[in-house]
Structure 1
Amino acid sequence: MFIKILLTIIFLCITVAVGIYSRKQAKSVDGFVLGGRSVGPWLTAFAYGTSYFSAVVFVGYAGQFGWKYGLSASWIGVGNAVIGSLLAWIILGRRTKLMTQHIQSRTMPDFFGTRYADEWLRVVASVIAFVFLIPYTAGVYMGISKLFEMGFGIPYTYCAIIMAMLTAVYVILGGYKATAINDFIQGIIMLFGITTVIAVVLNSQGGLIEAVSKMGEAVPTAHDLDDKSGLFAHFQPGDFASWFGPAPLSLLGVVVLTSLGTWGLPQMVGKFYSITDESAIRRGTIISTVFALIVAGGCYFLGSFGRLFPEPLYSVEKHKYAYDSIVPSMLETLPDVLIALVVLLVLSASMSTLASLVLTSSSTMTLDLIYRDKKSVEGEVEGGEIDDVVAEKIERRKVVVMRVLIVFFIALSLMIALNPPQFIAQLMGISWGALAGAFLAPFMLGLYWKGVTRLAVWACFVWGVGLTVVNMMLGNALMNPIDCGAVAMVGGFVVVFVVSLVTPKMNRQSVENIFKCYE
């Protein structure tokens, strides 16, 4: 216990120290939100990866999908690396950097408002981002708190509150630069931690070959067969050790949600806003992909052996296992030093994701609602004229407002985390489905296609949020939250394309001016 507490205290002291170190660069809006648009490839790549993978993946997704799909769950990690990282950087990185800098966009809602010349798009997008990032944040709290409960014996409530307070401290102090530096430190811990834990867990099962052999003998339990989804209806012996598992189509839906979804999440795309230049994007692409392959691939590979450990608790009323307890139960027998490493691993992943989420939420609310246009700023100045001194004061005021909203956002998501309505994976599915379903298609197509119309963007907002909310209100009667999120994302491209063909085009000259950044 002494070792676990000592390592955790050292880690937390470092994160706060980084916040103090970075506070000088967080006085302006660009400094606080984007790190002055001068963050290098290593920091950006690690910030992207650590924001991508949190306790939601390590505890929630790895446990649930490893149990359902066996070794084939590892494909989710491969998809996260290839689609969620490599292709995301190649397709979005350069164009996002150039266009957002050209139109002076600081957030994704700001991009929608400027790119499509509609202030209400900016407002609605910021509300969507703020509302649906809350359940994702709550899921992150739940994941890390369950690991702390297992490793330290500290009640879930206290774990969540402590983590919320510490995250708030270093984000409020140092903004994006502090977050990026801490992400780099936390990313190194994640790389070392996941490889070590996998080696030890496999060794406890007699090695890789023996563990795979045992998985080949695993069969669905009686409770699995009670699952109303019909996931194991056509199960064949050896499916849990096969290439594509017992339900390939269902597995594909998870790959789409967790991989393609990052392309439409404000906290992920925002990383491309802040990177230094195009050469840094090329280097960041390689670094981010390797990081994702090790961390995401490792998490799902580890979770895929969940059936070799004690069966999780089953809720007869909900017809569901306590999936969030699978990975913690796999780690309970580890030596204290390794449990401390696991706690730091998940703490690193979770705090980096939380920092990114709260910074994104506060910046969108401040810049896209409270100070969404020049008039809202000029209204504070007598005569409507802004000199350099007044402009600097307003910049500082915006930063103060963002810091206040960080506290508000953390408190609100913490309240949900203390009374969670869903499992971790379902919370994340709802959040990713609504956000990426609404934002992915109009954002990506807006970078490439001049023909996207304003009404097409509105239609996609309605489609992504509407499908997710209706399905949630019907008790997931249409489809489970994971599949719903995947359908929302892919369907968004159809919606934007079709509506753009039949609705009035935007002003040709203004669109041409926006796309000059690529010449």
Structure 2
Amino acid sequence: MMRPMMMAAGFAALAYAGVTLAADGAQKGVNMPAVTMFILFVIATLGITYWAAKRTRTAKDFYTAGGGITGFQNGLALAGDYMSAASFLGIAGLVFANGFDGLIYSIGFLVGWPIMLFLLAEKLRNLGKYTFADVASYRLSQVPVRAVAAVASLVVVAMYLIAQMVGAGKLIEVLFGLPYTYAVIIVGVLMILYVTFGGMLATTWVQIIKAVLLLSGATFMALAVLWAFGFSFDAMFSKAVEISPKHDAIMAPGSLVKDPISAISLGLALMFGVAGLPHILMRFFTVSDAKEARKSVLFATGFIGYFYILTFIIGFGAIIMVSTDAQYLDAAKKLIGGNNMAAIHLSHAIGGDLFLGFISAVAFATILAVVSGLTLAGASAVSHDLYANVFKRGQVDEQAEMRFSKYATIALGIVAIFLGIAFEKQNIAFMVGLAFAVAASANFPILFLAIYWRGLTTRGAVMGGLGGLITAVVLVVLSKTVWVDVLGNAKEIVPYKDPAIFSMPVAFILAWFFSITDKSARAKAEQEAFTAQYVRSETGIGAEGAAQH
């Protein structure tokens, strides 16, 4: 009874908000086609959530959509989960501001997927159940390993959520003229509704629909930009060089990342971070077997690679069509809404109010799909790893675990709102880069070693995971990003914004050292259990079953 009442309340609240926004829009000259498409999309996704809520009864339904998603569907959902506000708004904004150098994020975000395909996808599906901590703790002591994995996951989710909330807040602020704070609160409330009631099934279909819409809209935008230059990249780049105040500098590397240490550190984070993102790893448990998991990565890599080519064209198109048009600039000749809004303004330059409405709704769909996946991953870490397996030591029924997961979703939504407000001025692609750095430092080393190194012990996994996590977080806090831009100090303590080049080696070295020096009986048993784990990771069945088979 409660579920239909709460969903009905969500629809009623949305209807009220729609009337209010329409009234405000009439007074302030807000783009009503954009507002209308935005409201229609939210109504449609709430409908999907209501449909999914009626089919979400067990923990398996809530966490993994019952394991019935196909490889193609999961590939689209993975792409939808991964092509975030940082990808669409942030990278286009970086290219708009820095030219060629913005491509470093596009390439970095993409190259992690072959690592996922060849090293992790099948083994994750064969060893795990709901979260990547299932895999990391498969032959190790459950309580300490799950605790470290859950804490690291929550830190990554929080950092990733910042980028999405900032993107959503800026988008609604530009579209509706609402104060940024109210915009962030709206996104947080919708996110809580989607995940609390629809679980993974609603999240998956929101991500699939969003991926199709985003790929379609971005394709049209890129084709429109190229059409204006006779589909000549040379003509497009020449015009951008002519228009940009940086001139030839926009076609040269080095303006965004100026020293080798920062470049290598950023590259490490983007390459290996994807293999440590909890909301991405969680999607591999939604398919039926390892074959479908492998197909998921193949489809996702193709969709994502194609999309990043489009964002590069969109960024240069914004330089040409937006930066010289006074209607998109404020009194200081800066882009209205900041560089993150370059793609949104370009959509208006290409197709007027109607296409702006479509792209804005798609951008908002992008953000909602990603925050839903992130929130579900964070809630799963709290409920499945911490509550069910650390505090309750596995002695908990499914309904209690699901109920706790929904409480965790509400708490995460509130935290995301506060973080989104605090980090309003940060570039969202850069903030995601920091999330990748923490994922590459805390989650990836332990997951990789747990799967491939017989010598890893519980003590090594805990010390390595904590060492990588603490090092990455401390370096981020002491860098300009937080120490100066957020906390308001005069000068940063750490000169490098990206910590991965320091924190990743810390994680691997600590995990290695504390494993080889662990001579306990438990450590010996954990190392001997590697053979059974290896057989299961390759076949999906236990060692005894493999022998009989």
% same residue: 20
Structure 2-normalised TM-score? 0.78
The aligned runs of 1:463-478 (5 Å cut-off) are 463-476=467-480, 477-478=493-494
Structure 1 equivalent of residue 302 of structure 2: 290
Bigger drift between 179-188 and 9-18 goes to 9-18
Inter-partner Cα distance in structure 2 for 1:416 and 1:453? 35
Does structure 2 conserve the Cα–Cα contact (< 8 Å) formed by 1:65 and 1:304? yes
- SS of 1:280's equivalent? helix
Deviation per CA, 1:83-141: give whole Å up to 9, x if none. 232331232111111111xxxx4212343334322412212321232244223212201
Inter-partner Cα distance in structure 2 for 1:215 and 1:493? 44
Structure 2 equivalent of residue 437 of structure 1: 441
Q: Give the one of 488, 512, 533 matched to 1:514.
A: 533
- SS of 2:54's equivalent? helix
Q: CA distance change for structure 1 residues 218 and 441 in 2, over 3 Å: closer, same or farther?
A: farther
Q: CA distance change for structure 1 residues 247 and 468 in 2, over 3 Å: closer, same or farther?
A: closer
Deviation per CA, 1:189-223: give whole Å up to 9, x if none. 011011112233455678643221134457775xx
Bigger drift between 399-408 and 454-463 goes to 454-463
Deviation per CA, 1:54-103: give whole Å up to 9, x if none. 112222343135533x235335424433x232331232111111111xxx
Q: Give the one of 88, 91, 98 matched to 2:116.
A: 88
Q: How far is 1:362 from its partner?
A: 0.9
Bigger drift between 250-259 and 411-420 goes to 250-259
Structure 2 equivalent of residue 228 of structure 1: none
- SS of 1:276's equivalent? coil
Q: CA distance change for structure 1 residues 120 and 286 in 2, over 3 Å: closer, same or farther?
A: closer
Q: Structure 1: where are the runs of 5+ without partners?
A: 222-236, 316-320, 379-390
Inter-partner Cα distance in structure 2 for 1:493 and 1:303? 37
Q: Give the one of 134, 145, 151 matched to 1:121.
A: 145
Structure 2 equivalent of residue 333 of structure 1: 349
Q: How far is 1:439 from its partner?
A: 0.8
Structure 1 equivalent of residue 323 of structure 2: 310
1:371 and 2:371 aligned:
no
Does structure 2 conserve the Cα–Cα contact (< 8 Å) formed by 1:112 and 1:121? yes
Inter-partner Cα distance in structure 2 for 1:332 and 1:146? 16
| Cα RMSD, aligned residues only | 3.1
Deviation per CA, 1:412-448: give whole Å up to 9, x if none. 1101212327613443233332233111011022222
1:155 and 2:167 aligned:
no
Does structure 2 conserve the Cα–Cα contact (< 8 Å) formed by 1:97 and 1:272? yes
Inter-partner Cα distance in structure 2 for 1:453 and 1:304? 50
Q: Structure 2: where are the runs of 5+ without partners?
A: 1-30, 481-492, 540-549
Structure 2 equivalent of residue 416 of structure 1: 419
- SS of 2:115's equivalent? helix
Deviation per CA, 1:124-171: give whole Å up to 9, x if none. 321232244223212201112212322333332232222222222222
Q: CA distance change for structure 1 residues 499 and 202 in 2, over 3 Å: closer, same or farther?
A: farther
Bigger drift between 210-219 and 191-200 goes to 210-219
Inter-partner Cα distance in structure 2 for 1:377 and 1:460? 25
Does structure 2 conserve the Cα–Cα contact (< 8 Å) formed by 1:435 and 1:464? no
The aligned runs of 1:48-447 (5 Å cut-off) are 48-64=78-94, 67-68=97-98, 70-74=99-103, 76-81=105-110, 83-100=111-128, 105-202=129-226, 208-217=233-242, 238-242=248-252, 249=260, 253-304=265-316, 307-308=319-320, 309-310=322-323, 323-331=339-347, 333-334=349-350, 335-372=352-389, 376=393, 378=395, 394-420=397-423, 423=426, 424-447=428-451
Does structure 1 conserve the Cα–Cα contact (< 8 Å) formed by 2:112 and 2:274? yes
Structure 2 equivalent of residue 9 of structure 1: 39
Inter-partner Cα distance in structure 1 for 2:64 and 2:387? 19
Q: CA distance change for structure 1 residues 464 and 326 in 2, over 3 Å: closer, same or farther?
A: farther
The aligned runs of 1:28-43 (5 Å cut-off) are 28-43=58-73
Count of aligned pairs: 478
Inter-partner Cα distance in structure 2 for 1:313 and 1:484? 35
Q: How far is 1:516 from its partner?
A: 2.7
Does structure 1 conserve the Cα–Cα contact (< 8 Å) formed by 2:73 and 2:208? yes
Inter-partner Cα distance in structure 2 for 1:5 and 1:322? 20
Q: How far is 1:338 from its partner?
A: 1.6
Does structure 1 conserve the Cα–Cα contact (< 8 Å) formed by 2:279 and 2:374? yes
1:47 and 2:77 aligned:
yes
Q: CA distance change for structure 1 residues 266 and 282 in 2, over 3 Å: closer, same or farther?
A: closer
Inter-partner Cα distance in structure 1 for 2:318 and 2:508? 36
Inter-partner Cα distance in structure 2 for 1:57 and 1:463? 29
Letter aligned with residue 152 of structure 2: I
Q: CA distance change for structure 1 residues 358 and 121 in 2, over 3 Å: closer, same or farther?
A: same
Inter-partner Cα distance in structure 1 for 2:385 and 2:293? 27
Does structure 2 conserve the Cα–Cα contact (< 8 Å) formed by 1:46 and 1:183? yes
Inter-partner Cα distance in structure 2 for 1:127 and 1:281? 26
Inter-partner Cα distance in structure 2 for 1:328 and 1:314? 19
Structure 1 equivalent of residue 453 of structure 2: 449
Which structure is richer in relative contact order (CA contacts within 8 A, separation 6 or more)?
1
Q: CA distance change for structure 1 residues 125 and 441 in 2, over 3 Å: closer, same or farther?
A: same
Inter-partner Cα distance in structure 1 for 2:120 and 2:114? 10
Inter-partner Cα distance in structure 2 for 1:253 and 1:27? 44
Deviation per CA, 1:219-250: give whole Å up to 9, x if none. 775xxxxxxxxxxxxxxx84532588885855
1:488 and 2:517 aligned:
no
Q: CA distance change for structure 1 residues 306 and 445 in 2, over 3 Å: closer, same or farther?
A: farther
Q: How far is 1:290 from its partner?
A: 1.3
Does structure 2 conserve the Cα–Cα contact (< 8 Å) formed by 1:310 and 1:329? no
Q: How far is 1:375 from its partner?
A: 5.2
Q: How far is 1:491 from its partner?
A: 5.6
Inter-partner Cα distance in structure 2 for 1:188 and 1:487? 38
Inter-partner Cα distance in structure 1 for 2:177 and 2:197? 30
**Structure 1 stretches of 4+ moved >6 Å:** 243-246, 311-315
